[in-house]
Structure 1
């Protein structure tokens, strides 16, 4: 079957399927709730004839065909939205937009994969087979699932990530920044702020100086950012504070910048010798660099999209995904999920008028990714 022969999937059924997932709230911290989404998807995959395994790290694996050197689909069942969000953000459609928590990121992507597989089922699975991994903790860094994701990537012909394309441009993602975090804890010396302030060593003052030093490690011209997003410390106002801490988000475009940041954070020292510093953290997701395999996948996606009657662009983005783990191991293309906008925001939505085309593009790439 060529991409020209692929029909578009049935949009009303896609809409019903994504509603079923959206109305199962699945915040990352509630693995039982995330498991209920995985159960629903597992039922659908069984109906398609998948062989199913439950892997360590609460990962569901679905395989189709011989799966000797499969095309690998990555998707996750967790969302950033807490329980109770549906009360203020219910599932709804307005014109060409479908709203709901987790719709765009990435329950719509799960349904895109489901319907791409349905398109391929009748014609038989491609040589090498297809493997699908559905994880439970992508939004919190994939600490449980990373090992399974990387192992699958090593045996894969290519990796197709059904995170959403980029906003209103609907561009595919051919690169992502690496993501990490450092936590800096400062211990000072408490003292009475009125009677004996000189006997104290302010942890807050030290943390404030260190925070500025940490942020000065950024190199925006190289795509490297350092942003302190959380700081806390102290207690009673009339006490020289003995404790303060801050957490810094870091993003890097190339791996050597992560090493430079590591050295920079490790070189941080309190100005007051009575204070002590404790450092933890580091790079979580390596950079997803646009290597030759990704470029070949993107070029093939352009060809398939043209046959399907639309055009695609590419983008490099600052946020991470499981594609960051797989890109160094296997040709990886990201952003193959549901088009729309508003990830992690109240206006999160899917563009219904473009969604079937993107699902058909995913099916075409699964059939013919253009890489060996």
Structure 2
């Protein structure tokens, strides 16, 4: 049977825009539990008419995670199709003042609109239309609405692993690549905090008594930056630095935050070993290192290749030529990559400017991407 055509979803675009605006208006930065829980309550209200079994994974610090599940006709709730969405964004409360919700030249703007408020709406309408047209598949469907993807998924990681490792198919609703490509591989993410310790002293009266922690860190930064290797795909970014108190005081401490991206576990282990064994250069200084791998790499496995091939055929039946690509960014799909399950990542709509004040959604991509999502859910052959 052919998937439900894009034209059906095109008739829903006005309603989808209204819902997107409603969700974007509920600003939900990762570290604001109250705001994320407000969005979670709204999502429960929206999906409840679809009659899922809803479980709330209550959290003390992070926002609550939500599990919505639809058993198959035999009552099974595990396996089947797992849909990964996150409700948090990188944008602080008030970002909507810098990037207000508006439509201009086919672009709908707003903080978090492409990453990933519009994807939440996609999922809702895909499931609504499947129910309305009696095309709901006889397979368990689990929708995970998580609260902390943008800060490492610490609270939601156990849920993602629990449901993802037994899935027959995992659909990750991150936005598409620039030409609509699905993401069939992702780099892994490592994070380190490196602190250098010295000895404070008066910069004029007792300069020789001081041990400059910033000087030591300068040596370490050059060493770390030299680990970037575009041929192997390894990149190092020193994204934060803090140290010292005043120009006339030799700094006792300096600290940096390091982001590392790698294509495979072998490279991850190599870089970790180098960082863990950094040596001090300035006599008397010390180095403290914490951190490690945050998200495993998601290589293009045979399971992912087979999933993309089947998705491409479904897309072809919708008149869509589906392409694939790779990205250096991590997602919740990385968390389950080691389980060798079929994963389709990047099923969200097209847009640009994610994580910036220029974030926007391309409205003409919404109906096609929702039709594709709907078709994958209804037509998937296990």
Is the structural similarity TM-score above 0.5?
A: yes
How many residues are matched?
Answer: 370
Output one character per residue of 1:32-67: Cα deviation in whole Å (capped at 9) or x when no partner: 101111111111211111110012552100011323
Report how far residue 289 of structure 1 moved: 0.8
Q: Which residue of 2 aligns with 1:157?
A: 168
Q: TM-score, normalised by structure 2?
A: 0.93
- Give the distance between the partners of 1:180 and 1:125, measured in 2 at CA: 39
- Match for 1:257 among 243, 267, 271? 267
Deviates more, 1:130-139 or 1:305-314: 305-314
Q: Which residue of 2 aligns with 1:3?
A: 3
Residues 213 and 5 (structure 1 numbering): CA distance in 2 closer, same or farther, change over 3 Å? closer
Superposed, which structure 2 residues align to 1:90-109 within 5 Å?
A: 90-109=100-119
Q: Which residue of 1 aligns with 2:66?
A: 60
- Match for 2:316 among 292, 298, 306? 306
Output one character per residue of 1:146-167: Cα deviation in whole Å (capped at 9) or x when no partner: 1111111012111001110012
1:144 aligns with 2:124: no
- Give the distance between the partners of 1:130 and 1:322, measured in 2 at CA: 18
Report how far residue 219 of structure 1 moved: 2.3
- Structure 1 segments, 4+ long, off by >6 Å, are none
Q: Which residue of 1 aligns with 2:82?
A: 72
- Give the distance between the partners of 1:326 and 1:130, measured in 2 at CA: 17
- Give the distance between the partners of 1:120 and 1:4, measured in 2 at CA: 8
Superposed, which structure 2 residues align to 1:32-71 within 5 Å?
A: 32-57=34-59, 58-66=64-72, 67-71=77-81
In the alignment, is the contact (CA less than 8 A) between 2:78 and 2:163 conserved in 1? no
Superposed, which structure 2 residues align to 1:1-372 within 5 Å?
A: 1-3=1-3, 8-9=8-9, 10-57=12-59, 58-66=64-72, 67-122=77-132, 123-167=134-178, 169-329=179-339, 330-370=341-381, 372=382
- Give the distance between the partners of 2:222 and 2:348, measured in 1 at CA: 39
In the alignment, is the contact (CA less than 8 A) between 1:6 and 1:119 conserved in 2? no
Name the SS of the counterpart of 2:8 in structure 1: coil
In the alignment, is the contact (CA less than 8 A) between 2:53 and 2:70 conserved in 1? yes
Residues 106 and 154 (structure 1 numbering): CA distance in 2 closer, same or farther, change over 3 Å? same
- Give the distance between the partners of 1:338 and 1:195, measured in 2 at CA: 62
> For structure 1, which runs of at least 5 residues remain unmatched after alignment?
none
- Give the distance between the partners of 2:78 and 2:278, measured in 1 at CA: 49
- Give the distance between the partners of 1:124 and 1:166, measured in 2 at CA: 28
> For structure 2, which runs of at least 5 residues remain unmatched after alignment?
none
Report how far residue 220 of structure 1 moved: 1.8
In the alignment, is the contact (CA less than 8 A) between 2:296 and 2:337 conserved in 1? no
Name the SS of the counterpart of 1:116 in structure 2: helix
Report how far residue 7 of structure 1 moved: 5.4
Report how far residue 320 of structure 1 moved: 0.7
